[in-house]
Structure 1
Amino acid sequence: MNDEVLAERFEALRPRLRGVAQRMLGSAAEAEDAVQEAWLRLHRAGADEVDNLAAWLTTVVGRICLDMLRSRAGRREEPLDGADAPVGGGPEEEAVLADSVGVALLVVLETLTPTERLAFVLHDLFAVSFEDIAVVVGRSPAAARQLASRARRRVQAGGSASAADTRRQREIVAAFLTASRTGDMAGLLTLLDPDVVMRADETAARMGGTGQPRGAEVVAEFFCGRAQGAEPADIDGAAGAVVRSPEGQPWLALSFTVAGGRILAIEVVAGAQELAGLEITPLA
């Protein structure tokens, strides 16, 4: 592949890579630096050695961002107070970043450790598999899932773990299920973040004929009139829902990431092995 074609393919992927880096770093300027470093590494490696360019670049950007987070002064992998110092920046930069990432999510992401943040951002917001995330963080896929689950719980609680916050997340999910069952499109749109992303595992994607839709209108259309058999439940400690088989066994699980009163991400799991790895707690 010549340099011109390689550059064109990279530029087509730049918005996605910038989105990953901005959510990881909380800084538009640092995000650009990370994306540029990914380009340099790709140029050195050569695209002919890369089977899936989008996945390879997303993984590389994630690794670069993780290294940058770990190198920041005062930022520790396991902070004693449960929160990291916020990232500084000029007013204009902060305004642009907040508009593209979302104020509520950006604030909560600052409370996560670097590995939690990476696992959550790559999996929940950009649908990267735990197998690929495991390579970046140097842990097993199961450990990567636990990192994402722990991060998701903190995002659900807005950075805290108060009972009131947890109750509010459950109320939002319950309202979403009701709007879905009744075909209330307007109600769904009020509950979904404009940039909401939905991720379905391989089994769920085959069942529902969907890939990885993004955006409130697309996700709302998908769920409008559905969720007829869904029951509220906590999935790995986060607000969610479960659909059971006639025998009463979990058949499909929905995990919701909620912050700022809106749903940011929905994960749909239907694979037997994946379901077995979830902690599902039914709610009354």
Structure 2
Amino acid sequence: MRPEDPTDDFETQRPALLRLAYRMLGSMAEAEDVVQESWLRWSEADREVIDSPAGWLRRVVTRLCLDQLKSARARRETYVGNWLPEPVVDAPDPALLADNLTYSLMLALERLSPLERAAFLLHDVFDTPLEEIAATLGRAPASVRQLAVRARRHVRGERPRYPVDPEEGKRLAKAFFEAARLGDAAALTALLAQDVTVRSDGGGKVIAFPNTITGVDKAVRLYCGLAQKFGGHRAELLDVVTVDGQPAVISRIGDTVQATVLEFSAGRIAAIYVMRNPDKLGRIGRRLA
């Protein structure tokens, strides 16, 4: 018989539930709301008939996320400019890092249907038994397997083939910040891959470039132009952190804080994700405070 107090079982599962919801939704604020709703349902459930608290809670969180994604997709169709996941600085709790998904993979998940996303995360990332996934999604096990296969095919190209050493990543991130601050074209060219892409998310709240910049020449011109226009002396390095296993620079330009996540390939920066939307930087702001 399970204890009357439902807190212990739930708190044991909370970190994994929060990470699952964040991976599903790309927003930690929305993930926290989903986990809180799952707590309410857990506290009211007949826990004596629940064999596996972890499985029951995973199922509830997944279904709540699927409902949330229906409205989220509609909102993102009218989103101003690029949409990027909320950058969450890696916490010391190993349970929050165990899924080993990078920030770029989070963005790749956006191209999947909600069911493909759920099947991939539960099957490939959280090692959930196939029968449990089938029950959660209301699909036959064979159908779930096909969903996971399709999802895997879509995201395979986004897995980093050349993961950078954490300390080397921080060194290169600092070098990139300094080169961008000064508008140093030679240094930027040496740091960036030939096919580098730059995406910026302002959410219509602050200035950001709406389209993806592709290619080293365009990226170098962009950063040199920004340094000339706004003055490199106004850019301040606040911290170098890790976001989902990838180096990131937290900086301030004037009154605006931004997080720049870097993806590396063969020792060069292959993708740059610039988060400027203040709605997605609240946690980073509180961390700095």
- Please give the TM-score of this superposition, normalised by the length of structure 1: 0.48
Bigger RCO (CA 8 Å, 6+ sep):
2
- Please give the TM-score of this superposition, normalised by the length of structure 2: 0.47
